[in-house]
Amino acid sequence: MSAPASAQELEPRSSGERPPAARTALRAAGLVGSLLVLLAVLTLSIGVGARQLSPGEVWQGLVDSQSAAHAVVHQMRLPRTLLGLLAGAALGLAGGVMQALTRNPLADPGLLGINAGAAAAVASAGAFLGVATFDGYVWFALAGTATVAALVYAVGGGRGATPARLALAGAALNAALYSYVSAVMLLEAASLERMRFWTVGSLASAQSTTVVKVLPFIAVGLVLALALARPLNALALGDDSARALGARPALVRTAAIAAVTLLCGAATAACGPIVFVGLMVPHLVRALTGPDLRWMFPYCAVLAPVLLLGADVLGRVLARPGELQVGIVTAVLGGPFFLYFVNRAKMVGRS
Amino acid sequence: MNVVRLAGGRSVLLRPRAAAVGTGLVLLAAAIGVVSIGSGDYPMSPAEVVRTLTGGGDPAQHFIVNELRLPRVVTALLVGAALGLAGALFQSLTRNPLGSPDILGFTQGAAAGAFLAVVLGGGSLALAGGAMAGGVLTGVVIYALASRGGLHGYRLVLTGIGCTAILTGVNGYLLTRAQLMDAARAMLWFTGSLDGRGWEEAVPLLAGMAVLVPVVLLGCGRALPVLEMGDDLASGLGVRVRRLRLVLLAAAVLLTSLAAAAAGPVAFVALTAPQVARRMTKAPGPNPLVSMCTGAALLVGADWAAQRLFAGHQLPVGVLTGLLGGGYLVWLLIVQRRSGRI
């Protein structure tokens, strides 16, 4: 895929009157600021819990194996925080890629049934094949994710789909797949006991081994997605223009579905289906960066974990001494966001 | 299609095909019901079943048929009919073949109510009441959210999808808060099952339907096809669009909630029944009456099959309708996509 003749021509000119250099500096500064926010949330996520740790104690616990907080930080809070970081980045970026790919503002891995595909595959693997470890079912989750991603894209009408049509196709698949999942849970009490916690979407069961195992999938997905920013930018101009700019539309779409599959499949296998992160983050980010995906994707990857870990911390604070699973917090926070979005007349169109 | 003119300038539209299909479905549902009553650990021939139902038979048969097996079949017929009618109304109101309570969020709303009742430690009556309240409350919320500045089909559907997502999260939370036994009971209910249904489930449903069905069929039956032509045209033809829509929506939500309270949210019957009815009658527009018959035949048939399909293993009926309906749904999505209707 050769580089476009001039990057200037690809630059969407929507974010005002500033000269490009100043805009770039501003966006870079914003990205650094976002990273600082992420750092703060990471500290918070390690610090908040049954035993509160100050930022200083968190640092001590991280680096000093003699400190009192070492065990708590390393055995419990760090895996959970790292998993939240990875899953958040994966889901946010997957949402961004999906919205760019379908040119559809309502695209979200949860709403379009892609997470449900992973859930159905994991439920089947657990109930019929006795697969109960992350190693085993991550492959099933990836297979389920890939199948549903391709299906919803094809069924929802590919490029020509209206937002509402795609959301509807996704909702239909969601309903079908979750009815299958509940049937499986019902037929086997053991999988109910296991799955009822998994289907909510939670970081609570995170272990350092899970983090290590999920890392390669998400890392490959992240790199692939970030590399797709430029060709997807070109694709936004329509297939003919994209071809003229040197992008190969069919290849880009396939690669984008592969990236979504890796990101969502791995994240869902590790923490269960989490909705709305992939919907909310790209929209908030677009307000900051404008529509240029080369900036949007990095911002998504940084700010989505802020949202996910923030929701996780909120869940721990709200329901003390127990906790609200992060999937519930994002559903309850994200739902109103979605409803607000739907109620803007533009989205509904003529209907 | 024939118009029969009555005295006094009134006229009735007769659709021979729809009438034939409806009659056939009623007979089919009755036949499956009789076979279903006759089969079990104490098998009876259809003739014996009919004789017992009409008042004959010995006391043992009388007890088995009227007390044990008939309530289940009657509940199946009623739930199927209610869901078929509700589905026809929803699909007509949203002008979309996918507009069914499963997708609009009422199922999840009813489930949230029922789960809450289970978590708070209620019995089966509280569970049914919770389901009813949850479904109706969800309906009110969705209507309030979607009806600002006029109700549009797609906005209703999308609002429902948003509410479904929120409620799914809430339900998952409630499920994790429950004891495993309670969670299993709630899941069984959520799948939709007719096991052990007695007259106490069938009678409230029958009473509700006795009120709602005439209201819908006689009160709104004529205006419903006009409403599908669009708000402006319907207003021009003298239909009070807002009021009609509110009445129909309320009736559909109540029917869904009543059915859910009796048997749990049996998946996809409301989605498939109107579509199957439409294909069989080949009639344009909504077909509330035939959809009702289709739903009844579908559910009583599915329940019979779910009891017999795996020897020694009774599946809840919702598993079967979920799997059948899910497959049908994917097929529908592909076909509708080709013809550009969704």
Would you kindly state where each structural domain of chain A is located, as residue ranges? 78-348
Query: Average of pLDDT values for A5-31?
Result: 66
Q: Where are the domains of chain B?
A: 59-339
At A123, the amino acid letter reads A
Task: Quickly name the fold that domain B59-339 has.
Answer: ABC transporter involved in vitamin B12 uptake, BtuC (1.10.3470)
Give the separation between CA B250 and CA B59, rounded to whole angstroms: 43
List, in order, residues 6 or more apart from A176 with CB less than 8 Å away. Answer: B268, B322, B325, B326, B329, B330
* Number of Cα atoms under 13 Å in the Cβ half of residue A161: 33
DSSP structure class, residue A131: -
pLDDT at B92: 87
Asked if A165 lies within 8 A of B323 by C-beta distance, the reply is no
Q: How far apart are CA A347 and CA B76, in angstroms?
A: 40
Q: How far is A342 from chain B (nearest CA, A)?
A: 7
- A-chain CB neighbours of B330 within 8 Å are 151, 155, 172-173, 176
| A chain contacts of residue B183, beta-carbon cutoff 8 Å | 192, 196
| Calpha distance B46→B51 (Å, rounded) | 9
pLDDT of A175 above 90 = no
Q: How far apart are CA B230 and CA B225, in angstroms?
A: 10
Structure tokens of A65? Answer: 């194996």
Which residues in chain B are contacts of A334 at CB distance < 8 A?
165
Could you please report the per-residue DSSP string of A8-36?
HHHS---S-S--HHHHHHHHHHHHHHHHH
pLDDT of residue B98: 74
Whose CA is closest to A229, among A10, A13, A31, A23?
A10
pTM (predicted TM-score): 0.80
Residue pointed to by tokens 């499986």? A184
Task: Count helices and strands (H / E) in chain A.
Answer: 17, 0
DSSP class of A159:
G
Which chain B residues are Cβ-neighbours of A278 within 8 angstroms? none
Q: Is B267 on the interface with A (CB under 8 A)?
A: yes
> Which of A104, A112, A179, A324 should one mutate to test binding to chain B, selecting the residue with the greatest count of B CBs within 10 A?
A179
For the record, the structure tokens of A110 come out as: 């949860």
Contact B332, B268 (CB under 8 A): no
Asked whether B295 and B80 are in contact (CB, 8 A), the reply is yes
The verdict on a CB contact (< 8 Å) between B267 and A177 is: no
Closest by alpha carbon to A1, among A247, A223, A236, A226? A247
Report d(CA B1, CA B15) in Å as an integer: 5
Q: Tell whether the model's pLDDT for residue A210 goes beyond 60.
A: yes
Residue of A nearest to B152 (CA): A351
pLDDT in tens, B139-157: 898 888 887 766 666 778 8
Alpha-carbon span A57 to A55, nearest angstrom: 5
Q: How far apart are the CA of A99 and the nearest CA of chain B, in angstroms? A: 17
What's the rounded Cα separation, in Å, for the pair A337 and A347? 13
Nearest to B172 by CA among B104, B127, B115, B257: B115
Closest CA to B337 of A171, A80, A165, A22: A165
Residues of chain B with pLDDT under 70: 1-2, 6, 8-14, 149-153, 285, 311-313, 336-342
**A177 to chain B: closest CA residue:** B326
Average pLDDT, chain A: 81
Task: Please tell me the CATH superfamily of domain A78-348, with its number.
Answer: ABC transporter involved in vitamin B12 uptake, BtuC (1.10.3470.10)
| Token digits of residue B153 | 């089909």
To 10 degrees, what angle do helices B269-281 and B70-94 make?
A: 80
Q: Which of residues 80-99 of B touch A (CB under 8 A)?
A: 96, 98
The whole-angstrom distance between residue A119's C-alpha and the CA centroid of its chain comes to 15
Chain B, 107-166: which have a CB under 8 Å from a chain A CB? 107, 145-146, 148-149, 152-155, 157-159, 161-166
Q: Is the pLDDT of residue A67 over 50?
A: yes
